[in-house]
Structure formats: C-alpha cells, structure tokens
C-alpha cells in the first residue's frame, strides 16, 4: 500500500489518489458496472513524474524525475479537466446503481484489488414512489409507538390550526404542514411524547356554495351534500399530507363537523353566554350581498384599488332663531343667512347611504370655517359653505377657485343646530363626535347609524332611535324610501341605486357641489371577492369590551416568532369592539336559541342549550333542522313548544375553529392545555390566533398557547400571490412528481428541503429556478450520506473505535467542528429557525466535509491497512459524523433519514437494536434520539490552529494551480511541497501535525492534507529555505512568498524575512 502511493495514475488538471482508480463519485464501483463507462481517467495516462515538461526558459519548473517503467494497459474514458477539491459531490449521471458496491470493481484495473473501496447499498437516486408509499405505514407505527412507550415522559403539544376542507392542496398547505412536521420530528427525537392531532374546518359558505341550489331543496339536503363534499376534500388532503411524510395522529383527526366537536362548541357557547359575553343586538355589521350573510372582520379582505364615486353634498343649515342666545357665532350665522344660504358640506364615498342619514357629526375641538362659495354675488343669492379649517385649501384646489373665509367657529358651536335633508326635507341635528378627522373630506361627517359603526355609537349616545335599514339581504333598496328615490326600489346599492341617488341629488336637488372618482381601500368578501356593505341587522355578538385588554396582557407570557408579530396581533385585538358570531347560512353549528312568536324575544337558558347539546352529541347538528321543536326543547318546556320558533342563524366559522382548544386540548387531551405552540400563516392574526385567544381568555383567563409562530405567504418567482386568474398557482404534487413547468421531479424531500430553506417569517417564493437549487443541494446531501455509509461498511464501533486521545490531530479537529455544528443546529431547532438549520447542514456537508475532510481522508480509507490506527481513527470520526449529520437533517428531510437508516451497516447500531413492538421487523431512524456530542470534542484552540493550517493549504493550492496551468504538472501527486516558515503559531501547528508522520507506513499527514506525494516544513530561523531542493539537479522549483498574518507571527521586526512564508514546489 505504501508503494501504491508512488504509482497512482493522474490526469492533467485533476489530482487522483486511491479513489481515482475506480471512478464514480467517491471512487465507488457498483456491482456489475464497467469502469470504462464511469472513470474520470484521461485518454492517455502519465506516470507520476513525466519527461514531457522540459524548457530552456527562465520560468520556474516543477521537480522532474526519470520515467519509471511501462504503464499497465488502462481503459480509455474521456479526459476530465479542471481542478476540483469537491469531486466526491459531483453528480455522475451514468452512475445509477442502487446495489451494493464492490471492493475491487470490474474494470480490470490492476490496482483495484489493493484498495479498501466503499461498500454500500445506498442508491445515488431515491426511489420516490417506493418511499412515498411506505412512509405512511412507518409514520403510523412511529406515532403509535411513541404514544405508548413514552407515557409519563415530558409532552409536547402542537395544536393544528384546521385547514379548510375545500378543494385540493396547494403550496401554502405544503409550507404550513411541513413546518409543523419539522417541529414534531425534532421534539420526538429530543425524547418528548409528541401530540399532533390534525384537523379540518368543515362548515361555512364556500362549501355550502358547492352544493347545487335548486327550488325546493331543504336545509337538511344542503347539509348532507355539504358534509359529503367536506368528507371527500378531507380524504384527498389527508392522502396528500401523509404522502409528504407528515407525522401526526392520522387515526384520530378532529373535524369541526363531528358530533362530539359540535357538542363541545355548544358547551363553550353556553359558558360565554352565562358569563355575559354573548348578546343579541341591532347594529351595523359587514354584510355580503353576494353571500347574503353577515361577516366578521376576519372574513374581510381589502381591495386596495377600489373605485368609489365620491361626493361633496350641500345640506342647508336651518335658520338660526333670533331667540338664540349662543353669542357671537349665532349673530354671524344669522347675518350671513340674511344674505344667502349656508350649507354644511359633507363628503361621502357611499352616496347610496344618504337616504338613511340621521345627523351630521362634527368634532367639538376642531375649528370650522364659513367660506364664501360665490364671492361678489348680490344679497339674497350668495352661498356659503361650512367646512373644517384644515380642508379649505384642498377644497379650493379641487373646485379651482378661492373660498374666502368669513368666519371661524369651534365644532362645539354647531352642537344642537339643525339642517334640512335635501332628499326628503327632514330636519336633522348636528352631533359631536370624536371620530371625525381632517385627513380627507370636509370635517363634517354624514352620519347614517344603519350603515356605520361610528355613526351608530354617536346616535346611540344622543338617544337617536334605532337605525332603520333601507337595504335588504341582496343589497337592494326596500322599505320606506323617500319619494324622490322611490323609483330606485329593488335596485342594487352597489350599482344602479348608487348612481340613481347621485342623479337625484344633482338634477332635482342641486345639492352636489363636487363629484370625483376616488381610489381607496374597500372591504371585500374574502370568499366571493366582491364588495360588502355595512348594514344594520339583528345579530348575535360577543362583546369584547372587557376582553381585549386581558387578551393583550396574556400575550406577555407567550413567545411570539417573529417578535414583530406581537404588535400586529395586538393592533387587531384593539381594533375590535364586538365580534358578530351569527351567520345566515344552514351549513354550520346552529345558535341554539328559540324566539317567542309574538314578541320575538329570544329564549336561551342553561337548560335549553344543554338539552340541545345532548341531542347533538348523539345525532349531530342535523337534529336542529330535522327534529320538531317539541324534541329540541327540554321536557319542562315541551308543553309550550307552540309558542316558539327555532332560530335559523349558524355560528361564525371562526368560532368553530376558535373553540378547538376547548375540545382538542382540554376535553380530549388531559395534558394538552395550553398547547406548546400554535403555528400558522400571518393571516391568522385576524383569524384563528385571535378567536382562540379571545375565547380562551374569556373562559380560562390565559392564552391557549405558550408560543405563537407565524409564516408568510408563498409567492411565485416574480413575487406575485398565487392566483388562478394569473395562472401562476403551483401544484405541490407537480413539484414532487414533475409536471407542467417542473420538468424534473424533486421528490418529497425536495419539497421538504424547499420548505426548510425558506425564511418562513417572510413571504417565500417557489418555481423552477429555486427548485433546481434545492435538487442540487439534496444531491449533495445524498452523496455525503453515501460516502459516509460506504466507508463504514467494515467498521464496528464496539471493537474498532479509536479512543479520543489516540486520534489524529485532523480527526480531533473534525470532532471539534462536529461539536460546534451539533450545538448550533440544536439551538436553531429550539428557536424554530429551520432555514438556519438547513443552511448549516449544507455548509457543513459541502465546506467542512466534502471540500476538506473527505478530500484528505480517501487515501487513509482506501490505501491504509484495514485495521491500521490511521484508518480506524478516520472511521471513528466518520461514524460520529454520520450520526450527527443524519440526525441534524432528519426532521427536515425525513425520507433521506429513513434511507440512511435502512442502508446503514448492521454493526453500526448492533448495540442499540431498534424495532416496533407491533412490527418487530420494522424500525425508524427517529427512534435513535437526538444529537449527542462529547464535551471533550470541544477544543477551541484547535479551531484557531487549524484555521492557520487551512489558510496555508489554500496558499499551497494556488502555487500548485500555477504549476498546473504552466503545464509543469498534471496532478498535485507529482509534487513535493516545502513550507519555509518563521517561528509562529502556524509553524507550531504544522510541526505538531508532522509529528504524526509514520514513514515506515508511508503516512505523511501534511502530504495527506495537500494530497501531494510528499510535504515538509522548515524553520527559517534555523535552516535556509529550499536548501534540499536546490541540490537536486533534476528539480525545477516554483517558489512563492506570502505574508504571514501579523497577529500570528512572533513579533521580531528586526528580522523582516521572518514575517513571510515561503512555499516551494
């Protein structure tokens, strides 16, 4: 084997050590493979010391030695070019065998039989279909086993925010569930008994709309078809999640339409009602004409470029009585009215609400101006406007004329005065309201309590009667309309009726001062993507006045990732005064209330709700529609059933999912509340995070989660949201299997690695280009794993492991790096920073292992005696590396981890046999536990020492590259490198390394580091540089001088030459 080092074939441009004889990645030869189709040898071979590089120029030359003996006949594959120190990770498309590699190969190479080549059954490429089919069974065994075997161990609960059971999975689902799976698998490996119950949100309008509507269809029929649709969607989504390797309790998922869940939700509703949070009231709510139902804030999305017709409308100020004693302001107003009309100028973007106007609101502390709208007009024809002082200039610009200010007064001076409505001549009051602003409009707010929540509260505070709504469920005018707009009855307020009101105000009333198109943010129904309106209806609400601040306070005890998400959630909480929980649909959980037929008063008591709850627990909520009222009422009220009718409203779906903590974490799971973590998309700050928090704080006084983690949205490569209309929606199954723009399948681990690399706290993108990088990264991870497995085929840690004290210096250094790496990824997993973990894994595999340790380890592994100390020292480290590295990427790329487990040599884990009790022949990588590094491995002084060595190695490579480019050498193996170094930490480090040299066995650690035939060091303080080489008449020497780092050299300014390193080849 020592002699072999001097007779290695080389190629011009790429160094070849023992591995070069057998070709393929890491020098692996598959059973039955021909080396001629795989080798990286050149078309003609050179002996280590060629005679083809003579020259008479003064250019420095490489050492030349006489040609030795005729070269054995070799195969003639295509020549490889370029210098590559990461050559084991290069993917060879011809090497597709997944069978065990042989030690000697089948190429006929006369030296192959002298090598200890890697042996592994681990394939270069995964069998995607087989892995995808087998993973669900393995995961079921794993989840069940940990539940049983870890009873009484620390528990970790991740509560699943239920996806909507509507349609196929998309990349948003993939990112969501995979991020959760990373958490669960990591906690499982840390020894926790994990609890992850998947769930589905099943009720609501989107599913109900899937049911074909026809005349005569009954609520029970609609519900049956909606339930069937939800079941089909759940089956499809569940199959997809399982195929992605999601580890969860798939045998016992929860659904919001399950009878036991619905009964639990009714119980939660009753508790909220008994505590006084639930009430019924007539007030404006978001109403969707396209869905014909009330909506909560969480069901609203905002269209940023909605266009409205904005009007400035004149409302004539009524005559100021001469009997008024309000002082100077009244005197001025009376005087101006003697000259013309004074109009309160209101501004609105919803002209259709003007028929419902009940007041004009002004801010008591703002300054208002009376301006001359027609300067120079004669007495009796003048016109004056009242507007807020801060908006005078803006109105002048819009009108294109000057508006001289005639008088200023405080808003409070208008309180109690009246004006005449231009549409129906009603006399209405000015009211004071602190909600009035000066950012837009005129500072006088048209107030319609039926169509605005601020309007409603101002009117309520001033004892104005309950609002009268002139708009029906379809968004059309109905009721007692003014005669001037009677012709608009039945017209949509979002189209024809809005235009009609403008026409009447302009043509019949001469009240429109200015009309313009106004682009602004407007609420839309998140399901139908159509505009909504504010409309006063009788609804059921949860009052939030006493809940918001306790809910905000509870977040102080919650870890929130990213931290800025806390402010976002708090803002949404503080922006709510009540929560409308009633919906005018049939596919949902009914609000269990009965109404007196004569008075309309609701009947809701503990006994009535509890009775319905018991019925639902056994029959489901269908009973509310299928059973007569006599059976729905408790026995004590059965004789009075004829007096009541049952309500038809159902509960908001956010209350459905917001009640999940009560059923899943408390009632079905005795150790589940509060959950260790909730993690969903950032949109859930307005949805599930909030509804869960409010209900939990109301009933338990605490948040239902200890940690809250949010992720951004998935965008296309151009940064656009996924949209069917744009055609940029990415199907995750196309990513996995290939299809459409994804010509090459990435496999499940490709999808998983994409999710792990995404910096999820922001929006992330997916497309062919990012997936190309992901596939290449995954190939590197596979090749690294294959190298480790192949070189441990004959290693038994129980008998062959080398004690730490006897390890080579480079091996101790790698254990130090491994310790730092293991601690780092553990800390990142604890913080849910999976993108940092993924990048650390890739950097460690490529930079520390492939480009460095593997590069210099091959000679020891392939060419040393099987049981030599140097070889076993390297294998001892490789065994530790395999264990730590595989465990570090296992939660992220679980399929790869199970492959590593499947193809690991039996003797590596013979001391810790793993199996499932219910399936003795099967086991999982995830039964191995987490990373365990020895504290002795941590040697920071080695880090500094080896940084010097690796820097010197880099400089030496530069010199070798010059020699190669000048065609003095074809390979570094033709060279002998000498470092001439002054006394310094670098000299000490190299000298300590050189002390491990064993010339009797041909082992030179410095030569191994450089992958050269020989290497040595000289102390320039005691020996002149290049002395030995200068005496060799056959030597041609390339010498370079590089600065020695000033912080590492022993400071001797008087000896300038000692501040440099000389490298001779």
The answer to whether residue 12 scores a pLDDT higher than 60 is: no
At residue 416 the predicted structure's pLDDT band, cuts being 50, 70 and 90, is confident
Write the DSSP symbol of residue 275: T
Q: Which CA distances in Å does 366 have to 155, 329, 541?
A: 59, 15, 34
Strand order in the sheet with 644-646: 602-603, 594-596, 644-646
**Would you state the pLDDT for residue 35?**
27
Q: In whole angstroms, give the CA distance from residue 356 to residue 191.
A: 64
Q: Are 315 and 288 in contact (CB under 8 A)?
A: no
Lowest mean pLDDT among 592-601, 828-837, 933-942, 1020-1029: 1020-1029
Phi, psi torsion values for 838, nearest 5 degrees: -60, -45
Instruction: Using CA atoms of 629, 634, 640, 645 in order, give the dihedral in degrees to the nearest 10.
Output: -30
Residue 999's nearest CA partner among 1021, 1014, 1009 is 1014
Q: In whole angstroms, give the CA distance from residue 860 to residue 791.
A: 11
Question: 539 or 379: which carries more pLDDT confidence?
Answer: 539
> From the centroid of its chain, how far is CA 567?
19
Both structure tokens of 593 = 């209330």
Strand residue runs (E) in 878-992: 976-981
The answer to whether residue 961 scores a pLDDT higher than 50 is: yes
Q: Are 58 and 52 in contact (CB under 8 A)?
A: no
Q: Give the dihedral sign, CA 763/765/766/771.
A: negative
* pLDDT tens-digit series, residues 733-771: 999 999 888 889 999 999 999 999 999 999 999 999 999
Cis peptide before 674 (omega within 30 of 0): yes
pLDDT, mean over the chain: 84
Ranges of H-type helices in 17-170: 128-149
> From the centroid of its chain, how far is CA 161?
14
Q: Give the dihedral sign, CA 986/987/992/996.
A: positive
**Would you state the pLDDT for residue 526?**
83
At residue 23 the predicted structure's pLDDT band, cuts being 50, 70 and 90, is very low
Q: In whole angstroms, give the CA distance from residue 198 to residue 755.
A: 19
The predicted model gives 918-943 an average pLDDT of 91
Q: In whole angstroms, give the CA distance from residue 10 to residue 17.
A: 8
Q: Give the dihedral sign, CA 245/249/250/255.
A: negative
Token pair 């639930």 is found at 278
The answer to whether residue 773 scores a pLDDT higher than 70 is: yes
DSSP lists the bridge partners of residue 595 as 602, 645
* pLDDT tens-digit series, residues 264-296: 999 999 999 999 999 999 989 999 999 888 887
Instruction: Using CA atoms of 731, 737, 742, 744 in order, give the dihedral in degrees to the nearest 10.
Output: 170
The predicted model gives 434-460 an average pLDDT of 93
Vertex 889 angle, CA 887 and 892, to 5°: 125
Lowest mean pLDDT among 34-48, 358-372, 534-548: 34-48
The answer to whether residue 1040 scores a pLDDT higher than 80 is: no
At residue 118 the predicted structure's pLDDT band, cuts being 50, 70 and 90, is very high
Q: In whole angstroms, give the CA distance from residue 283 to residue 457.
A: 9
Q: Which CA distances in Å does 246 have to 237, 426, 549?
A: 12, 65, 37
Strand residue runs (E) in 66-168: 101-102, 155-159
Lowest mean pLDDT among 40-54, 344-358, 809-823: 40-54
**Would you state the pLDDT for residue 756?**
97
At residue 1042 the predicted structure's pLDDT band, cuts being 50, 70 and 90, is low
Lowest mean pLDDT among 430-439, 474-483, 1008-1017: 1008-1017
The answer to whether residue 1050 scores a pLDDT higher than 90 is: no
The predicted model gives 484-489 an average pLDDT of 94
The predicted model gives 410-428 an average pLDDT of 93
What does 1039-1054 look like in DSSP terms, one character per residue? EEEEEPPTTTS---TT
If DSSP codes are grouped into helix, strand and coil, which group holds residue 419?
A: strand
Ranges of H-type helices in 724-808: 732-737, 747-757, 768-790, 797-800
* pLDDT tens-digit series, residues 582-605: 999 999 999 999 999 999 999 999
State how beta strands 155-159 and 193-195 pair.
parallel
> What percent of the chain is modeled with pLDDT above 90?
63
Residue 681's nearest CA partner among 705, 712, 719, 723 is 712
* pLDDT tens-digit series, residues 887-909: 999 999 999 999 999 999 988 88
DSSP lists the bridge partners of residue 427 as 420
Q: In whole angstroms, give the CA distance from residue 944 to residue 988.
A: 12
* pLDDT tens-digit series, residues 303-350: 999 999 999 999 999 998 776 656 788 889 999 998 899 999 999 999
**Would you state the pLDDT for residue 883?**
96
Question: 333 or 49: which carries more pLDDT confidence?
Answer: 333
**30 burial level (CB within 10 Å; 0-12, 13-18, 19+):** buried
Both structure tokens of 465 = 């009667």
The predicted model gives 801-828 an average pLDDT of 96
The answer to whether residue 519 scores a pLDDT higher than 60 is: yes
* pLDDT tens-digit series, residues 964-1005: 898 888 888 888 888 888 888 888 888 888 888 765 566 788
The answer to whether residue 1059 scores a pLDDT higher than 90 is: no
At residue 632 the predicted structure's pLDDT band, cuts being 50, 70 and 90, is very high
Q: In whole angstroms, give the CA distance from residue 987 to residue 248.
A: 56
Residue 755's nearest CA partner among 180, 211, 1 is 180
At residue 725 the predicted structure's pLDDT band, cuts being 50, 70 and 90, is low
Widest CA span in the chain: 129
Question: What pTM, to 2 d.p., does this model score?
Answer: 0.82
Q: Are 89 and 850 in contact (CB under 8 A)?
A: yes
Q: Are 908 and 879 in contact (CB under 8 A)?
A: yes
């Amino acid at each position: 084997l020592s002699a072999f080092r001097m007779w290695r074939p080389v190629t011009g441009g790429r160094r070849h050590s023992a591995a070069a004889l057998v070709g393929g990645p890491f020098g692996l030869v598959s059973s039955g493979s021909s080396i001629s189709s795989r080798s990286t040898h050149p078309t003609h071979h050179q002996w280590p010391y060629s005679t083809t590089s003579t020259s008479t120029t003064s250019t420095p030359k490489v050492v030349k030695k006489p040609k030795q003996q005729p070269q054995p006949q070799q195969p003639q594959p295509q020549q490889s070019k370029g210098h590559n120190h990461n050559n084991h990770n290069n993917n060879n498309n011809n090497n597709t065998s997944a069978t065990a590699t042989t030690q000697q190969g089948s190429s006929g190479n006369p030296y192959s039989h002298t090598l200890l080549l890697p042996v592994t059954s681990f394939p270069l490429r995964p069998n995607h279909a087989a892995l995808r089919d087998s993973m669900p069974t393995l995961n079921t065994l794993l989840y069940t086993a940990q539940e049983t075997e870890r009873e009484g161990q620390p528990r970790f609960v991740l509560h699943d925010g239920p996806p909507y059971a509507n349609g196929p999975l998309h990349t948003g689902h993939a990112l969501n569930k995979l991020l959760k799976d990373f958490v669960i698998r990591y906690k499982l490996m840390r020894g926790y008994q994990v609890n992850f119950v998947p769930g589905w949100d099943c009720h609501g309008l989107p599913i109900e709309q899937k049911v074909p509507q026809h005349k005569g269809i009954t609520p029970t029929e609609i519900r049956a078809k909606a339930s069937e649709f939800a079941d089909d969607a759940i089956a499809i989504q569940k199959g997809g999640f399982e195929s992605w390797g999601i580890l969860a309790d798939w045998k016992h998922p929860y659904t919001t339409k399950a009878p036991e869940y619905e009964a639990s939700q009714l119980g939660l509703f009753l508790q909220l009602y008994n505590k006084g949070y639930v009430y019924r009231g007539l007030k404006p709510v978001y109403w969707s004409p396209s869905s014909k139902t009330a909506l909560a804030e969480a069901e609203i999305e905002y269209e940023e470029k909605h266009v409205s017709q904005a009007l400035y409308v004149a409302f004539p100020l009524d005559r100021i009585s001469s009997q008024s004693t309000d002082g100077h302001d009244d005197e001025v107003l009376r005087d101006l009215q003697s000259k013309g009309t004074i109009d309160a100028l209101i501004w609105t973007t919803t002209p259709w609400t003007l028929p419902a106007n009940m007041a004009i609101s002004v801010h008591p502390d703002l300054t208002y101006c009376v301006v001359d709208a027609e300067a120079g007009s004669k007495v009796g024809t003048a016109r004056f406007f009242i507007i807020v002082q801060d908006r005078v200039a803006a109105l002048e610009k819009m009108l294109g004329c000057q508006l001289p200010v005639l008088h200023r007064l405080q808003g409070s001076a208008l309180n109690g005065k009246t004006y005449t409505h231009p549409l129906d001549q009603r006399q209405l009051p000015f009211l004071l309201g602190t909600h009035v602003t000066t950012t837009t409009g005129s500072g006088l707010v048209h107030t319609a309590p039926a169509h605005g929540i601020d309007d409603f509260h101002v009117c309520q505070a001033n004892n104005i009667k309950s609002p009268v709504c002139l708009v029906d469920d379809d968004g059309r005018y109905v009721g007692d309309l003014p005669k001037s707009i009677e012709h608009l009855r039945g017209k949509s307020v979002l189209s024809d009726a809005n235009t009609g009101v403008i026409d009447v105000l302009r043509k019949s009333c001469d009240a429109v001062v200015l009309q313009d198109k106004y682009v602004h943010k407007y609420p839309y129904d998140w399901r139908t993507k159509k505009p909504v309106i504010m409309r006063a209806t009788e609804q059921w609400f949860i009052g939030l006045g006493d809940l918001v601040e306790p809910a905000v306070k509870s977040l102080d005890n919650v870890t929130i990732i990213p931290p800025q998400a806390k402010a976002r959630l708090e803002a949404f909480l503080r922006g709510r005064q009540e929560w409308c929980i009633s919906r005018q649909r049939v596919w949902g959980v009914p609000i269990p209330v009965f109404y007196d037929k004569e008075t309309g008063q609701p009947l809701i008591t503990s006994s009535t709700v509890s009775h319905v709850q018991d019925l639902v627990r056994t029959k489901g909520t269908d009973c509310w529609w299928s059973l007569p009222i006599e059976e729905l009422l408790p026995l004590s009220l059965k004789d009075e059933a004829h007096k009541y009718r049952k309500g038809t409203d159902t509960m908001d779906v956010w209350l459905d999912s917001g009640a999940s903590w009560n059923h899943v974490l408390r009632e079905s799971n005795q150790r589940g509340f509060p959950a260790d973590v909730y993690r969903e998309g950032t949109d859930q700050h307005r949805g599930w995070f909030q509804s869960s928090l409010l209900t939990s704080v109301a009933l338990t006084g605490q948040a239902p989660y200890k940690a809250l983690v949010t992720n951004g949205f998935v965008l296309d490569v151009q940064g656009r949201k996924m949209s069917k209309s744009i055609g940029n929606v990415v199907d995750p199954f196309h990513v996995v299997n290939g299809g459409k723009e994804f010509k090459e399948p990435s496999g499940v681990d490709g999808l998983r690695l994409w999710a792990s690399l995404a910096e999820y706290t922001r929006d992330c993108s997916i497309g062919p280009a990012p997936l190309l990088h992901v596939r290449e990264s995954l190939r590197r991870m596979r090749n690294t794993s294959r190298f480790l497995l192949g070189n441990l085929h004959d290693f038994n840690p129980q008998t062959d492991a080398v004690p730490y004290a006897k390890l080579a210096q480079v091996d101790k250094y790698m254990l130090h790096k491994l310790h730092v790496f293991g601690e780092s990824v553990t800390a990142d997993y604890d913080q849910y920073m999976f993108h940092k973990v993924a990048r650390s894994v890739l950097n460690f595999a490529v930079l520390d292992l492939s480009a460095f340790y593997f590069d210099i380890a091959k000679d020891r592994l392939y060419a040393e005696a099987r049981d030599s100390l140097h070889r076993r020292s390297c294998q001892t480290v490789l065994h530790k590396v395999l264990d730590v590295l595989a465990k570090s990427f296992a939660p992220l790329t679980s399929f790869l981890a199970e492959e590593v487990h499947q193809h690991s040599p039996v003797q590596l884990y013979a001391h810790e046999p793993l199996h499932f009790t219910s399936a003795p022949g099967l086991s999982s990588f995830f039964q191995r536990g987490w990373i365990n590094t020895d504290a002795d491995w941590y040697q920071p002084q080695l880090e500094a020492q080896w940084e010097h060595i690796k820097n010197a190695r880099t400089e030496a490579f530069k010199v070798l590259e010059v020699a190669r480019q000048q065609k003095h050498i074809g390979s570094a193996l033709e060279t002998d490198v000498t470092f001439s170094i002054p006394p310094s930490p670098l000299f000490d480090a190299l000298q300590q390394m050189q002390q491990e040299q064993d010339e009797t066995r041909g082992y030179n650690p410095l030569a191994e580091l450089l992958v050269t035939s020989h290497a040595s060091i000289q102390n320039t303080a005691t020996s002149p540089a290049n002395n030995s080489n200068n005496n060799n008449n056959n030597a041609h020497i390339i010498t370079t001088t590089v600065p020695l780092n000033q912080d590492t050299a022993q400071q001797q300014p008087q000896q300038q030459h000692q501040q440099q390193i000389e490298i001779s080849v």
